[in-house]
Structure 1
Amino acid sequence: MDLDYVNYDDYISTDETENTTSDDGQFLFNDTQTPLAPILVTINVIICVFGLGGNSLVIWICGWKMKKTVITTFYISLAISNLLFCVFLPLEVFYMMTLHWPFGLLMCKLTSSVLFLNMYSSVFLLVLISIDRCVMVSFPVWSQNHRCPWKALVIVAIVWVLSALLTLPSMIYRHITAHGTVTQCYSNYKVKSQHKAVAQTRFICGFVIPFLIIVVCGVVLAVQLKNVTLKSARPYKILSALICSFFFCWVPYHTFIFLELDFNYSPDVLRTGLRIGATLAAANTFMSPVLYVFIGNDFKTTLKRSLTSRIEAALADDLRSRSKSVDIVQL
């Protein structure tokens, strides 16, 4: 979820004539604020606040209040990925506002890497959820005998390892450079082919192949569900909504990434488009908890029950403390 201006600038090439040159001869993106910067900053702050709160709530409900199942294991992992992104998002917002990176090389690499780790892990988990639902409907007996939370946990661990490996280019190519009192965090691609290869790999492995698998699973599900009577269609509505939100949040970003690789478009248009696309991509991190609350019946029921019990417990403690106070006064 790299955002192409600060850390949203991860795909900006470092060998174009429009860029400025550092003291060591490296070309840097001539980053400037756009008229949309205040709006995008505000949106990202909202994303951060709701993302932190919403995904923490999902982890709490699915992890401690609901029965451990394969699907809750996937949803918890998805929420952890989104939460991790939101933890690092304030650094991106600061860089977006000031165009100065005071957090050092390690945080420059980590922040950019976390954004792509979220992208890969999110889409891979959506693939797992789609395949899992497809198997449940197509092979109900087999899935009942073989699906279990610990196996899902192992698969999730594999997904995180694969996501981390695909995120390595961001760790390798991300660097910082100082211009007087201003420090930039940028991608130091030595040649244009490196930039192109990284962008294409991210697009193919992080979007095209996973989305094709998801679409195939969706078609199979649609065909199978015509002949199956379901107690509730809500789980499939959640899955459909998650897939649609991921698609619409990420398509603009990948589109501008490939336009930026061509270098035949206005730098200002590309810069603005990449920032808008990156903000939409970031918005995907708080869409999941919103969808769970408004579509997931089990999640809503558990949430209401948990909040109600917490309120009742708090009121009971308050009444007990007041009763003790009265007894002490009477004595």
Structure 2
Amino acid sequence: MALVLNMSDPDVNISDVAMNATQQLEGQHNFYVVVPIIYSFICAVGLLGNTAVIYVILRAPKMRTVTNMFILNLAIADELFTLVLPINIADHLLLEWPFGQAMCKLIVAIDHYNMFTSIYFLTVMSIDRYLVVLATVKSRSFTWRTYAVAKWVCGAVWALVSLVVLPFVVFASNGIVDSQRRTRCGLELPSPEAEWLRAVRTYTLIAGFVLPVTTICTLYTSMLRQLRGLRLSSNNARALDKAKRKVTLMVAVVLGVCLLCWTPYHLSTVVALAVDLNETPMVIAVSYFIISLSYANSCLNPLLYAFLDESFRRSFLKLLECKTG
């Protein structure tokens, strides 16, 4: 049984053990009340922040840059997730799934789209940042780095994520009944379930964390190495020093928040692959903390990629002035 216990979690096993964890939750009044409050806060902040990001980038002409195209798609993915988060809250409160098979597949799909698009667009942004720094260091220009090309890249990312998410959609089912005859939504895996579950966990860990995070770390390490190796002339020393500080800050923020939100989630997958854990109150509490932390990434992204950007703040305030004026 996986450490993370959530109806849309890829590690959820369709077995009596999983249902027993849900039944234990009924007796834990604090979990029953606190989890929806946390999810609701994430939903509210995420909807507000991502809506602002989407609105500003689409309405402000100066915001139509390559980087902002990636940020826009990241915000769209987060917005989709926060829009359906109330259904997860309802599922938690009702202790069963009343929304049918189609909605079950849709929610599982969007949950996993959120997981993979976040880290994949972060990887694309890292590649783009690496190319920009490389061009600066070598005094070159990339003529193909345009807004139109960025749109095609975003389309390719969505297509790739669709392929990655497809197995979860296929196995998603609400035809799961616990010992109290209540319908649940999760992954209905073929026999032998244990082997399939191990394969799902490994697939999620590699595709959703190991490969993209390794790529990101490699790119930023290479960027910093190249910037440190520059011999600065008197004319461009200040500019390059400033660029170095910005890249260093970006490395710290992007990698730090990414690891903060998603490492516990994927670490729980590693633990689940290694040992079988009993569904004690402590394990359940840690499980919900981990899943809430990964959900929180959807409301943190607008702050990281947009609200900390001075040009975004200026565009946002200008649009507000136009509305109020």
Q: TM-score, normalised by structure 2?
A: 0.84
Q: Tell me which residue corresponds to 1:162.
A: 160
Worse overlay, 115-124 or 251-260: 251-260
Distance 1:218 1:37, change over 3 A: farther
Identity of matched residues, %: 25
Deviations 1:167-208 (A, max 9, x none): 112112211134677321122122211111111111111111
Matches within 5 A, 1:166-185: 166-176=164-174, 177-178=176-177, 182-185=182-185
C-alpha distance in 2 between matches for 1:239 and 1:155: 22
Instruction: Report the equivalent of 1:255.
Output: 267
CA shift at 1:113, angstroms? Answer: 1.3
Distance 1:272 1:258, change over 3 A: farther
- Deviation readout 1:137-174 (Å, 9 max, x if unpaired): 11235444221011111111111111111111211221
Distance 2:57 2:6 in 1: 34
Q: Which amino acid letter does the alignment assign opposite residue 210 of structure 2?
A: V
CA distance in 1, matches of 2:252, 2:122: 10
Higher relative contact order (CA 8 A, sep 6+): 2
State the shift of 1:7 in Å: 2.1
For 1:310, the aligned partner's letter is K
* Partner in structure 1 of residue 254 of structure 2: 242
1:199 paired residue number: 201
Q: 1:120 to 1:47 in 2, by over 3 A?
A: same
Return the alpha-carbon distance in structure 2 between the equivalents of residues 143 and 236 of structure 1. Answer: 22
CA contact (8 A) 2:109 2:169 kept: yes
Give the secondary structure class of the aligned counterpart of 1:189.
Answer: coil
Alignment of 1:1-331 (within 5 A): 4-15=4-15, 18=17, 30-33=22-25, 34=28, 35-65=30-60, 66-140=62-136, 141-176=139-174, 177-178=176-177, 182-190=182-190, 191-226=193-228, 227=230, 229-230=239-240, 237-238=249-250, 240-268=252-280, 269-292=282-305, 294-311=307-324, 313=325
Distance 1:3 1:102 in 2: 25
RMSD: 2.5
Moved more, 270-279 or 248-257: 270-279
Identify if the C-alpha distance between structure 1 residues 107 and 282 changes in structure 2 by more than 3 Å, giving closer, same or farther: same
**1:24 maps to what in 2?**
none
Structure 2, unaligned stretches of length 5 or more?
Answer: 231-236
Separation in 1, partners of 2:109, 2:283: 22
TM-score, reference length from structure 1: 0.83
Question: Post-superposition shift, 1:37?
Answer: 3.3
Cα offset for 1:274?
2.4
Deviates more, 1:231-240 or 1:120-129: 231-240
CA contact (8 A) 2:126 2:220 kept: yes
Assess, with a 3 A threshold, how the Cα gap between structure 1 residues 292 and 303 changes in structure 2: closer, same or farther.
farther
Offset of 1:300 from its aligned partner?
A: 1.3
How many Å separate the matches in 1 of 2:162 and 2:72? 18
| Amino acid in the other structure paired with 1:253 | Y
Residue 238 and residue 38 in structure 1: after superposition, are their counterparts in 2 closer, same or farther (change >3 A)? farther
Contact 1:59 1:79 in 2 (8 A): yes
Alignment partners' CA distance in 1, 2:151 and 2:99: 34
How far did 1:119 drift? 1.1
- Residues 17-42 of structure 1 deviation map (CA, whole Å, 9 limit, x = unaligned): 6356xxxxxxx865442433322211
CA gap 1:249/1:50 in 2 versus in 1, 3 angstroms: same
